[in-house]
Structure 1
Amino acid sequence: MELIAKGAEAEIYLVDWFGLKAVLKWRKPKMYRDPNLDYHIRRRRTINEVRNMYIAYSLGLRVPDVYFFDPGEAKILMEYVEGKNLRDLLNEGNYSYLREVGVYVGRMHKAGLIHGDLAPTNIILTGGQLCFIDFGLGEQRMGWTRKTAVLLARDINVLFRTLDLYGEKAEELKALFWSGYREEVGGRAAAVERELLRIRASGRYVERKTE
């Protein structure tokens, strides 16, 4: 078992699962929390992540296969997805995938599923298909309200903060994303775009204020 990533919430290990290369995501106990509360938090987040992956899969998205999960131990054993992540693709000049990302994110959002961490490193091209990983911060929203539009905009903003780093290409890259997103979401995409503009304008104000 090899530790390959360690975050605030979980540790990720590369393991062998009956001859298959697999990933073990383990939400270890937090010593600073009450043990009973800690157990319920880790259990709930583990169930939530697997549920989010299932919903995404049912919508036609490629996600890692889940081999086994244990809510009590807060462990998920899943497929190790090999390929290039979206950051690598963008750095190589493969921008066209952003339109497909927009379609898939739009499909999730239309169904009320918020990914929670749309960093380019959580989108992997494997076998000619984009695979979305790490749904640990995701959630589901029922109904369409302004609050929902704000949460969807925040989801997209995680990706756009990375796209900002591409200088003069940034707006072109965002336009590719929006073309796919609008196709999938339809007229409601405009409300998400408005909220994203407000979020980003507020962020720029804060940045200027702290300079």
Structure 2
Amino acid sequence: MQLIAKGAEAEIYLMEWFGLKAVLKWRKPKAYRDPELDRYIRRRRTINEVRNMYTAHTLGVRTPAVYFFDPEKAVIIMEYVEGKNLRDLIGEGRYSHLRDVGRLVGRMHSAGLIHGDLAPTNIILTRGGLCFIDFGLGEHRKGWTRRTAVLLARDVNVLLRTLDLYGEKAEELKALFWEGYRQEMHEKATAVEKEVARIRASGRYAERS
């Protein structure tokens, strides 16, 4: 196995799984946590990530195929997704994909599924279309409440904050995302947009302070 990524929560290894190119995601133990609590957290997050990917898949959103997972060892072995991520696509001027990103995020949100980390590097264009990876921080909400709208807005804002970095192109890129998002969320999109505006306004105030 080859270590290809190392984050605060998990390590990602490139490997072969019965002849298939795959990745192994391992949530490593945290020495600073109580061992039983640590085992519980890593187990719960592993199950949660697999469940979120399955839910997205049932909604018609492409995710890596899960080949094997072991909650007790906090390990997931899944498909290695080859392609260019959204950051690279935007860098090449292929902006129209943001409309599809908005539509797919809207589809997840309309079902109460929150991705948890909508960074452009977690959205990959592959032969089967756009694929979303890394659902480890996601959650699934039932019903529609103000709290749900806030959580969906926080999810969206992760992507919007990245798009802010594109200077004079930023508003055009965000408009493409919202266009796709509204197609799936319909009237609920307005509530999410309002919460995004509140989050971003409070963020600007905090920066000035």
Alignment coverage as a number of residue pairs: 209
Specify the code of the residue in structure 1 equivalent to 2:9. Answer: E
Q: 1:208: how far off?
A: 1.3
Structure 1: gaps (5+ residues)? none
Give the unaligned 5+ runs of structure 2: none
Counterpart-to-counterpart distance in 2, 1:178 and 1:160: 10
Which residue of structure 1 lines up, in the alignment, with residue 29 of structure 2?
29
The aligned residue for residue 115 of structure 2 is 115
CA RMSD, Structure 1 to Structure 2 (Å): 0.6
The ranges of structure 1 where at least 4 consecutive aligned residues each deviate by more than 3 angstroms after the TM superposition are none
For 1:43 and 1:105, the matched residues in 2 are separated by: 26
Residue 94 of structure 1 aligns to a residue whose secondary structure is coil
Aligned-pair CA distance for 1:128: 5.1
Looking at structure 2, the residues matched to 151 and 7 of structure 1 have their Cα atoms a distance apart, in angstroms, of: 23
- State the alpha-carbon separation in 2 of the partners of residues 56 and 156 from structure 1: 16
Which aligned pairs between 1:1-211 and structure 2 lie closer than 5 A?
Answer: 1-127=1-127, 129-209=129-209
Q: Which amino acid aligns with 2:83?
A: G
TM-score by length of 1: 0.98
Cα distance in 2 for partners of 1:51, 1:150 equals 22
Q: Measure the CA separation in 2 of the matches of 1:34 and 1:121.
A: 32
Q: Distance in 1 between matches of 2:19 and 2:78?
A: 13
User: What is the letter of the counterpart of residue 23 of structure 2?
Assistant: V
Q: Could you list the per-position Cα deviations for residues 1-20 of structure 1 after superposition, in whole angstroms to 9, with x for gaps in the alignment?
A: 11111111111000111221
The structure-2 alpha-carbon separation of the partners of 1:128 and 1:75, relative to structure 1 and needing over 3 Å to count, comes to closer
What one-letter code is carried by the residue in structure 2 that aligns with 1:109? Answer: H
CA distance in 2, matches of 1:128, 1:206: 41
* TM-score (structure 2 length as normaliser): 0.99
